[in-house]
Chain A
Amino acid sequence: MKKFFALLKVSVKSMLLSSTNSRGRSRKKAATGAGAILLIAFLGLYMSGLYSSMLMQVLSPIHMEVLVFIFMGMGALVGGLLFTAFAVKGVVFGGRDNDLLLSMPVSTTALMASRVAAIYLENLLFSLFVLAPAGAVCAFMTQSGVGHSLLFWVRLLVAVVALPLLDTALSVLLGALVAFLSARVTRGALGQNIVMGIYMAAVFWFAFNLNGMIEGLAENAAGVKESLSWAAPMLWMADGILGDWGKLLAFTACCIVPFALVVFGLGKVYRQAVTAFAARSARNDYKLSAQAASGQKKALLVKEARRFFGTPMYLWNAGIGLIMLVGMGVAAIVMQGKLNEFLAMMGGALPVMPIAAAVMGFCLCTCVIAAPSISLEGKYLWILREAPVGEQPLLWIKTGFELLLTVPCTILAGVCLTIALRLPIGEAAVLLLAALLFCVIHAAFGVLMGLTFPKLDAVNETVVVKQSLAVTLGMFVPMAALGVCALLYWLGGFIAPAAALALPLVLLAVFAVACALILAKKGPAMLRAL
């Protein structure tokens, strides 16, 4: 047990250090890291609280509070899976310290358990952020008073702790499948991308269906609960939280058993699994033909593209926003009729173009391609340093690569939304201008964050792409800027309609110019100092 805790300490410490960058001597940087985590916690609690209260408003009068916990539980399960399934291959099976730790006198089950525990802790946070606000909402809004007893909170705590066990077991199995396939398929990255693509499609299908169910809640809540019999553990969890100890016990067993099977089962064959997943022998059948030459900039850009498309973890985490952006535009065109019906029903009360801009901005925030690109150089940084290329072109290539992906998707989404929402030409121009300025901000700010909070010694790419402070700030600071834009739009409305549009545009333009200038003036020195 002592050895397990020592290993667990290393896993968790590594995760925390990468999230907060607190290893550096700068207290300011550590404080920024802690601040970013608090911001995420606040956003998680706020969003979960908002959804829970919306559901509770509909369901409490008909005494169907149980559905709030079913839906929020499913949300936590799917969200956790989405968040951690990508991480498993790197964190559990692909750590660079595998050789070191496997050579030590510790059981492989303990090693496997310590790695899985890091995944469990991430899922636990997810579960806490989603279910705790649902509990609070239940305590304040329910008419039956079920949330007022201490035992209710004890049962909720059991659910919060147990649910991530199930999440973790599913994540580890999916991660093991991905690792297995990438070791067996010649084009490993392609195989992983296909698996992840199918998985993401399933998650989106589930999310859309869940949305449909929520829409029909008021009319037929009992029927909705009936139709969820396939998700029996979630029903048991919800009934358990609301007072049925037997079902809570059944749910807890449903979480513990798969987790134990995964940890002890895979733990027994951990050494074989790690060896099999890493075993990729070089082929010996290449025939050299005439090679083609290209310029320095193209070579660097192609290198960024190879890393992005050849690293499924990076592609699916940073590229999901691109899919959402294009998907949203196409969906708006396809569902044009319904969308306009809804807008007509609202009687022109909604600021359509600003909402479209905000949604596009939100999608762009999740395209954190540039922010981790500095840290991903990691041990390879010497190659760029010894190359006859100045620091400034290197930084612009990294910024430019994100723009190369985000700008076409932004234009496509903007045009689709303009057509679907029948925006006047002036508003369409403002929408596109704002979105393109936001693309520049996001890319340049991302590179700046990568330079300010580098994580060059990460044990795998997962740590950089999912847990580094640069990525957190690269996503949430532009999101906060979107919030300020919304505030300026609202304030500008008191002056004149033109001011409402101009003020956010000016803010975006100033932010974009500031990021570009800082990157141009300070960026090279920051890169040299790494």
Chain B
Amino acid sequence: MLRIEHYSKTYPGGKKAVDDLSLHVRPGEIYGFIGHNGAGKTTTLRAVAGVMDFTEGVITIDGHDIKKDPVGAKRVTAFLPDNPDLYEFMKGIDYLNFIADLYDVPAEQRTKDIGKYGDAFELTGNLGSPIGSYSHGMRQKLALISAFIRRPKLLILDEPFVGLDPSASHLMKGYLAELCQNGSAVFFSTHVLEVAEKLCHQIAIIKDGRLIRSGPTAELVGDSSLEDVFLELEGEK
């Protein structure tokens, strides 16, 4: 579903944020991307989502090259940044319809999905209010709903658990699993190692812009815990 080949990103001024990264996320997989602050996780996720340009390498999503066919790649993708800013002048329902229109979601399907996810995240009643009046958690939930109603083949999430209450986090994990059962893939970054260990089929660890370890979670963790492996690889243990 997602193939990253020899991806590098150098910022103006010469700082190399990511260096020669390659990984492959298959359909039906939840792929966790972990690393310390400034390791290059967000830079990678933004490049995959087509939000940010990059210097070297090839990124393909469902066969669409993000550089050569960005619109085709984005049509099957949903991306949520770590702190999603949503149009405050819109009502929640207007925002969902705006996103649904951009992704050509049919009227019947969007009504059904907005109802399903809105009710689950207890947000349906608030959808008639302007986003400017939403709390941080409500905005996060609205952003998540806007991602789910697209029924993406690849869902890219940057720190998705930050700001969500425990029940919303639990719900989200369930929906991520449901998405993967339907053949989609999830690629997300997190600092919550326990969640990554339980939820992910595959994990990649990045340090100073370089991929230092990747593979199936069970193989990577072995008899230890992801926290131990991570700290050992980071040289902190």
Question: Is chain B a partner of chain A in the same complex?
Answer: yes
The interface of chain A, by Cβ under 8 A from chain B, is 188-189, 280-286, 288-296, 298-300, 302-303, 306-307, 310-311, 379-380, 382-383, 385-390, 528-529
Q: How far is the CA of A293 from the CA of B109 in the complex (A)?
A: 10
Q: Which residues from chain A contact B78 at a C-beta distance below 8 Å?
A: 386
Choose among B87, B99, B104, B107 the residue that contacts A380 (Cβ–Cβ < 8 A): B87
Taking a contact as CB atoms under 8 Å apart, the answer to whether B71 and A291 are in contact is no
**How close is A439's CB to chain B, nearest CB, in angstroms?**
25
Choose among A288, A293, A306, A382 the residue that contacts B101 (Cβ–Cβ < 8 A): A293
- Kindly supply a per-residue 1/0 record for chain B positions 89-120, scoring 1 wherever the CB is within 8 Å of any chain A CB and 0 otherwise: 11011100111111111111011001100100
Q: A299-B102, A385-B51 are in contact. Are A291 and B125 (CB under 8 A)?
A: no
Q: List 8 A-B contacts (CB under 8 A).
A: A284-B126, A285-B125, A290-B107, A306-B87, A383-B87, A385-B49, A388-B75, A388-B102
Choose among B102, B105, B118, B130 the residue that contacts A389 (Cβ–Cβ < 8 A): B102
Taking a contact as CB atoms under 8 Å apart, the answer to whether A311 and B89 are in contact is yes
B165 at the interface (CB under 8 A from A): no
Taking a contact as CB atoms under 8 Å apart, the answer to whether A282 and B126 are in contact is yes
Q: Which residues from chain B contact A386 at a C-beta distance below 8 Å?
A: 49-51, 74, 77-79
Taking a contact as CB atoms under 8 Å apart, the answer to whether B130 and A286 are in contact is no
**Which 5 pairs show the lowest CB-CB distances between chains A and B?**
A286-B128, A299-B101, A282-B129, A388-B74, A284-B125
B169 at the interface (CB under 8 A from A): no
B132 at the interface (CB under 8 A from A): yes
Q: A288-B114, A293-B106 are in contact. Are A283 and B126 (CB under 8 A)?
A: yes
Choose among B70, B93, B97 the residue that contacts A286 (Cβ–Cβ < 8 A): B93
Q: Which residues from chain A contact B90 at a C-beta distance below 8 Å?
A: 303, 306, 310
- A-B pairs under 8 A by CB, number: 119
B220 at the interface (CB under 8 A from A): no
Q: How far is the CA of A292 from the CA of B129 in the complex (A)?
A: 19
Taking a contact as CB atoms under 8 Å apart, the answer to whether B111 and A288 are in contact is yes
Q: How far is the CA of A475 from the CA of B90 in the complex (A)?
A: 28
Choose among B74, B94, B101, B130 the residue that contacts A280 (Cβ–Cβ < 8 A): B130
| Most-contacted residue by chain B among A307, A379, A388 (CB, 10 A) | A388
B178 at the interface (CB under 8 A from A): no
The residue in chain B whose Cβ has the minimal distance to the Cβ of A285 is B125
- Other contacts beyond A283-B126, A291-B100, A306-B89: 15, CB < 8 A: A280-B132, A282-B135, A288-B124, A289-B111, A292-B107, A293-B101, A293-B106, A295-B101, A307-B87, A311-B89, A380-B86, A382-B81, A382-B85, A385-B49, A387-B103
The residue in chain B whose Cβ has the minimal distance to the Cβ of A387 is B102
**How close is B72's CB to chain A, nearest CB, in angstroms?**
8
The residue in chain A whose Cβ has the minimal distance to the Cβ of B75 is A388
**How close is B64's CB to chain A, nearest CB, in angstroms?**
10
Q: A286-B125, A388-B71 are in contact. Are A291 and B79 (CB under 8 A)?
A: no
Q: How far is the CA of A122 from the CA of B92 in the complex (A)?
A: 37
B121 at the interface (CB under 8 A from A): no
Taking a contact as CB atoms under 8 Å apart, the answer to whether A293 and B110 are in contact is yes
Q: Which residues from chain A contact B71 at a C-beta distance below 8 Å?
A: 388-390
Q: How far is the CA of A472 from the CA of B210 in the complex (A)?
A: 45
Taking a contact as CB atoms under 8 Å apart, the answer to whether A379 and B85 are in contact is yes
**How close is B160's CB to chain A, nearest CB, in angstroms?**
15
B194 at the interface (CB under 8 A from A): no
B133 at the interface (CB under 8 A from A): yes
Q: How far is the CA of A265 from the CA of B26 in the complex (A)?
A: 63
Q: Which residues from chain A contact B86 at a C-beta distance below 8 Å?
A: 380, 383
